[in-house]
Homo-oligomer: A and B are copies of this chain.
Amino acid sequence: MVVKVYGPFYASPKRVLVCLVEKEIEFETSPIDLFKGEHKDPEFLKLQPFGQVPVIQDGDYTLYESRAIMRYYAEKFKSQGTELLGKTIEERGLVEQWLEVEAQRFHHPVYKLVVHILLASALGFPSDPKIIQESEAKLGSLADLSHLPFSQHLVADLGKEHMIRDRKHVSAWWDDISNRPSWKKVLQLGVFELPK
Contact = CB atoms under 8 A, between A and B. Distances in A.
Interface of A: 50, 61, 63-65, 67-69, 71-72, 75-76, 89-90, 92-94, 96-97, 99-101, 103-105, 108, 141
Contact of A76 (B89, B96, B99): B89
B89 A75 contact: yes
Contacts of A65: 96-97, 100-101, 104
Contacts of A99: 68
Contacts of A103: 100, 103-104
Contact of A71 (B50, B69, B76, B96): B96
Contact of A97 (B68, B93, B141): B68
User: Which of A65, A72, A76, A94 has the most CB atoms of chain B within a 10 A radius of its CB?
Assistant: A65
A75 B95 CA distance: 14
Contacts of A93: 61, 63, 68-69, 71-72
A50 B140 CA distance: 10
26 contacts: A50-B101, A50-B141, A61-B90, A61-B93, A63-B94, A64-B97, A65-B96, A65-B100, A65-B104, A67-B96, A67-B100, A68-B93, A68-B96, A68-B97, A68-B99, A68-B100, A69-B93, A71-B92, A71-B93, A71-B96, A72-B89, A72-B90, A72-B92, A75-B92, A76-B89, A100-B103
